[in-house]
Amino acid sequence: MSESERPWGRYEILQEGIAHKVKCIWVKPGKRLSYQRHEKRAEHWFIVTGTALVTHNGEKKTLQANDTIDLAIGDLHRIENIGTEDVIFIEVQTGTYFGEDDIERIEDDFGR
């Protein structure tokens, strides 16, 4: 397993294969990931704990423990922690490429 710290929290890679990657992601209270999309992968999110505000193709939706969302290749998406505890979610990526450089950031709080 590899870990990576980010300004919004951190993630751990739980499993990686030719056609998939699985991450556990922690988002700190009051933080959010960039509004982004991917050209080569789809994602499925399963919320484990916390309260998240998800923006999916411009529509906002609140998700909590046991909620899921599917993000197709090219979909715009973002997750934001609107609660007081960490949002923890499992991200399952499927597609043809899973590198961190397959992120097109539309908006980012951290200037990336």
Give the pLDDT of residue 91: 98
Q: What does the DSSP assignment read for 14-27?
A: EEE-SSEEEEEEEE
Question: pLDDT tens, 14-33?
Answer: 999 999 999 999 999 999 99
Give the pLDDT of residue 1: 67
Q: What is the pTM of this model?
A: 0.95
**Beta-bridge partners for 28:** none
Question: pLDDT tens, 51-108?
Answer: 999 999 999 999 999 999 999 999 999 999 999 999 999 999 999 999 999 999 999 9
Where along the chain do its domains lie?
A: 2-107
- Give the whole-angstrom CA distance, residue 96 versus residue 112: 24
**Fold classified for 2-107:** Jelly Rolls (2.60.120)
